[in-house]
Structure 1
């Protein structure tokens, strides 16, 4: 199902690049991709620049810091795009544990979503309130639509992509 695995690195000083290469991923430094356009470090830049090096028609992004990574993170986002032509973009969701000191609850994490993002969506984009994980870092989209929307720098990229794709293609495309 996967044609290529790419890690776009912003100059990390840990062993990210080494481990990714050993696992078979192609590794790129964001600063080396499209250097003529400059650099605004952050997640948005890395995602946008990954479009430049990736070749597929369907692009999947999975946050690299997922502790319980599983193939379902990929096929759960790619599957709907393969099955339904009208879909343009798919976001994953999952239970997020809440850690309280020494204790852990199986759900209740994602407080930024619940305290900030959901109320904002309810006021400005109520149609998007059905997305359980609007800030999820696991999503997939068709190349042609990803190349047609702006990428916010930093961590605003997740909500920015969701809103921009919604505005361009409507709820039916999500």
Structure 2
């Protein structure tokens, strides 16, 4: 077996609810998702898994996190954000919001593509984002390693 690896970058804002220090404030990051997939090399293509296919499948979900706000479901600013979106007329989307990811709702998170919002059950650390990404992508390919990098922080897991 051989491994193929792809990297996807995304921009997001979040905060750590209940955290003491800088991260308790709303702030943004450049995030990176590294996906390593294992498979037999296809003699026709020479790939274990075509990297463009890895990127395309993952990006369908990752679009929900790109230029988006990630908040915990109990964050007191969440209802305020939603009220502002209603007042601005963007609660149900906007014509300029053309990068819509696949909607998802599982035990870890729910995406609201039209709002550029992901509501998470746990604080949006690299470790917890890694769990969310794995839950969304594991049905699509044989993931052997995932890594999430956010600024100077990173977490990875072997599968």
Question: What TM-score comes out, normalization by structure 1 length?
Answer: 0.23
Question: What TM-score comes out, normalization by structure 2 length?
Answer: 0.25
Name the one with the larger helix percent. 1
Name the one with the larger strand percent. 2
